[in-house]
Amino acid sequence: MTTVDYVLRLGDDALVTAQRLGAWYAAGPEMEEDVALANIALDQLGAARLLLTYAGELEGAGRDEDALAYQRGPADFRNCRLVEQPEPDFGTVIAKLLLLSAFQLPFYEALAGAGDERLAAIAGKTRKESAYHLDHSTLWTLRLGDGTDESHRRTQAAFDTLWPFVDGLFASSEGGPVDAAELRKTWTSTVEDILGRATLTVPTPVAEPTGERTHLVELLAEMQQLHRAHPGARW
Amino acid sequence: MYGNDFAGPDAGADGGLLGQVEAAEAALRAAAHRGRVEGDPAALQDYFDAVIDADQKIEPRDWMPDAYRRGLVRQIAQHAHSEIIGMQPEGSWITRAPSLKRKAILLAKVQDEAGHGLYLYAAAETLGVTRAELVDMLLDGRQKYSSIFNYPTLTWADIGAIGWLVDGAAIVNQVPLCRCSYGPYARAMIRICKEESFHQRQGYEILHTLSHGTPEQHAMAQDAIDRWWYPSLAMFGPPDTDSTHSAQSMAWKIKRFSNDDLRQRFVDMCVQQAGVLGLRIPDPGLRWNSERQAHDFTSPDFDELMRVIKGDGPCNAERMAHRRQAHSDGAWVREAAAAYAAKQEEVVVV
């Protein structure tokens, strides 16, 4: 039996990713990239909506996608910390997307063939999108890693900064048909291969920092502000 | 409109204009089968004039007068710049959209605008300029974008007002361009108009929901209409008596209707829709004139329009600063992509 928390974790990863990417409107390095980043944000948001709707149904307390997205505080968000990290430059956007999509692709592929029919149907759709996200972030990682000295330095720094948060992707996820912890090997081989081809160094493992999730607090404050200012309103 | 979950104004908030888009598309397909004509300058000019007279299309391969080419580059580039700058006022609400459905619709809309910019720059490139040159002209202020995007988006209702009024005005302006005499521009406009029509319906639906929501939401919607009405009327440009490019543009069939005719068409279209929305158009002079079979209305403040065009609008500096920042922040990425591509070519040659 799939638990609410299991589904929330997947939905929150997707929602927070979409929220970060949504802030990149009209800020990409090329117009084509504005289109691509919006597309990826839309994919993640679409997945989030399906997953949060399902989580609400499993919970059975009458909460829909918006109640779960807008009326939970930071302490109740189940996403991994990687996705909430700020994206100060395009290198960080790409590094984060690579780390995430190298996880989401095998995860959704496994979910598509696993026991929960509803999750299998959602994953059947999202795995195709994850394949595109991985392809897009791989191509950019190669260009940036093996481009100029500056792009190499910036992109290596982005992977170094995000690396302490990769463990969170694999925190054991009981309560659902696929355990994230089992995908680490596949993920490691994908990511190490791409970083190698991009002439980047695989960072040394570091423990995830502890402390308050201030980035998530700020992200949610912005996202939820308008919705919360009008309790009970329809939009 | 998004999905089928909203019963909006029938026949489309665009007043059936999509039918005109389809007719223009059929004419373009026919034009694409014409061959290239060679000859001396007089023969070329005669051929150009004959094509224009016959309501056919000039294509990139065809000879065209320099002024025709320059005018088109100016107009198409200005249009492309407007799409790219136009992403900003709405985009700033993506992270704050009040529901996930609205967030998705807005993301898709802003993405469409980037796409429109791309088609239009591509259409301009068929006239012998490059996108990079045009972007430089935007960044250093030699070329303009639509002054409407120099107004701020203060509340969520502004997203509705931009869709209904700004995109509505854009459609009224742009549907005739689907039949403009330059083929690549006309083709780009066909696709753009189809998407703009969705945008307008989405804006209308946002306002409809707000207007029939809580008293605060209704007030928010009315406030947005109050602020966007006259700037939207100004989008049709100066009155016909003051329009500098209009006469030649009409003769060349780039432009098909005068600024004032299009403005009138827009007002007449909005009045009925405002009634269904339950929102008031902020013009005490607005009334039906049965003699003219059209609405009398108060003209926008054209002095304000000129001030905003010259750079003195509420957000001119902010919009340009954002665009320049994005361009300079992205420089290292573009350089990396070029360096990487060059390395790949070397590998192939070796």
Query: What's the confidence (pLDDT) of residue B244?
Result: 72
Q: Which residues contact A126 (CB under 8 A, 6 or more apart)?
A: A43, A46, A47, A104, A108
Q: Which residues of A81-107 are buried (b: 16+ CB within 10 A; e: fewer)?
A: bbbbbebebbbbbbbbbbbbbbbbbbb
A to B CB pairs, distance under 8 Å = 147
Residue B5: pLDDT band by 50, 70, 90 thresholds? very low
Q: How many domains does chain B have?
A: 1
A175 within a domain of the structure (yes/no): yes
Whether B108 sits inside 8 A of A42 (CB atoms) is yes
The yes-or-no verdict on residue B31 having pLDDT over 80 is no
Residues of A in contact with B92 (CB under 8 A): 25
Residues for chain A: how many in total?
235
Residues of A in contact with B116 (CB under 8 A): none
Residue B6: pLDDT band by 50, 70, 90 thresholds? very low
Compute φ and ψ for B12, nearest 5 degrees. 85, 140
Rounded CA-CA distance A197/B343 in Å is: 13
Residue B32: pLDDT band by 50, 70, 90 thresholds? low
Residues of B in contact with A33 (CB under 8 A): 330, 333
The burial class, CB within 10 Å (0-12 / 13-18 / 19+), for B50 is: exposed
| Alpha-carbon gap: B288 to the closest alpha carbon of chain A (Å) | 33
Cα torsion through A150, A153, A157, A160, rounded to 10? 150
Nearest CA in chain B to A219: B95
Ranges of H-type helices in chain A: 4-22, 31-59, 65-70, 81-84, 90-112, 117-145, 149-162, 184-197, 214-229
Q: Are residues A13 and A80 in contact, defined by beta-carbon separation less than 8 angstroms?
A: yes
Tokens of A219: 């992200």
- Of residues B347 and A179, the one with the higher pLDDT is A179
Whether A25 sits inside 8 A of B104 (CB atoms) is no
The residue among B85, B72, B194 whose CA lies nearest residue B146 is B85
Q: Which residues pair with B287 in a beta bridge?
A: B296
Tokens of B223: 């406030």
Residues of B in contact with A66 (CB under 8 A): 99-100
- Once rounded to an integer, what is the mean pLDDT over residues B38-44? 84
Query: What's the confidence (pLDDT) of residue B243?
Result: 75
Residues of A in contact with B95 (CB under 8 A): 19, 22-23, 222-223
Rounded CA-CA distance A71/A220 in Å is: 10
Cα torsion through A108, A112, A113, A115, rounded to 10? 100
The widest CA-to-CA distance across chain A, in whole angstroms, is 54
Whether B323 sits inside 8 A of A26 (CB atoms) is yes
Q: Which residues contact B292 (CB under 8 A, 6 or more apart)?
A: none
Whether B337 sits inside 8 A of A27 (CB atoms) is no
Cα dihedral sign, B277-B278-B279-B280: positive
| Alpha-carbon gap: A24 to the closest alpha carbon of chain B (Å) | 9
CATH of the domain at A86: 1.20.1260.10
Rounded CA-CA distance B276/B273 in Å is: 5
Residues of B in contact with A147 (CB under 8 A): 335-340
Rounded CA-CA distance B283/B278 in Å is: 15
Domain extent, residue A136, equals 4-229
Q: Are residues B310 and A123 in contact, defined by beta-carbon separation less than 8 angstroms?
A: no
Of A15, A29, A65, the CB nearest to B333: A29
B120 within a domain of the structure (yes/no): yes
With left for phi above 0 and alpha for psi between -120 and 50, is residue B3 left, alpha or beta? Answer: left
Whether A65 sits inside 8 A of B335 (CB atoms) is no
B3 within a domain of the structure (yes/no): no
User: Residue holding tokens 């659902």?
Assistant: A176
Query: What's the confidence (pLDDT) of residue B8?
Result: 37
The yes-or-no verdict on residue B33 having pLDDT over 90 is no
User: Residue holding tokens 């006469």?
Assistant: B247
Query: What's the confidence (pLDDT) of residue A27?
Result: 96
Q: Are residues A82 and A125 in contact, defined by beta-carbon separation less than 8 angstroms?
A: no
Whether A35 sits inside 8 A of B97 (CB atoms) is no
The burial class, CB within 10 Å (0-12 / 13-18 / 19+), for B185 is: buried
Average predicted confidence (pLDDT) for chain B:
92
The widest CA-to-CA distance across chain B, in whole angstroms, is 79
- Once rounded to an integer, what is the mean pLDDT over residues B249-278? 95
CA angle centred on A114, ends A110 and A116, rounded to 5°: 130
User: Residue holding tokens 């009008």?
Assistant: A230
A235 within a domain of the structure (yes/no): no
B175 within a domain of the structure (yes/no): yes
- B208-253 pLDDT, tens digit each: 999 999 999 999 999 999 999 999 999 999 999 887 777 888 999 9
A166 within a domain of the structure (yes/no): yes
Rounded CA-CA distance B53/B30 in Å is: 16
Whether B326 sits inside 8 A of A32 (CB atoms) is no
Q: What is the DSSP string of A128-141?
A: HHHHHHHHHHHHHH
- B8-22 pLDDT, tens digit each: 334 445 557 888 888
- Once rounded to an integer, what is the mean pLDDT over residues B283-309? 97
- B60-92 pLDDT, tens digit each: 999 999 999 999 999 999 999 999 999 999 999
- Look up the pTM and report it: 0.93
Nearest CA in chain A to B104: A42
Collapse the DSSP code of A208 into the 3-class scheme (helix H, G, I; strand E, B; otherwise coil) and give the result.
Answer: coil
Of A90, A142, A226, the CB nearest to B333: A90
Q: What is the pLDDT along chain A (235 residues), one digit of tens a residue?
A: 899 999 999 999 999 999 999 999 999 999 999 999 999 999 999 999 999 999 999 999 999 999 999 999 999 999 999 999 999 999 999 999 999 999 999 999 999 999 999 999 999 999 999 999 999 999 999 999 999 999 999 999 999 999 999 999 998 788 999 999 999 999 999 999 999 999 999 999 989 888 889 999 999 999 999 999 999 999 9
Cα dihedral sign, B125-B196-B227-B11: positive
- Of residues B340 and B247, the one with the higher pLDDT is B340
User: Residue holding tokens 């405002």?
Assistant: B274
Query: What's the confidence (pLDDT) of residue B24?
Result: 83
Query: What's the confidence (pLDDT) of residue B15?
Result: 58
Domain extent, residue B70, equals 48-349
Q: Which residues contact B77 (CB under 8 A, 6 or more apart)?
A: B120, B121, B124, B129, B134, B137, B138, B143
Query: What's the confidence (pLDDT) of residue B40?
Result: 85
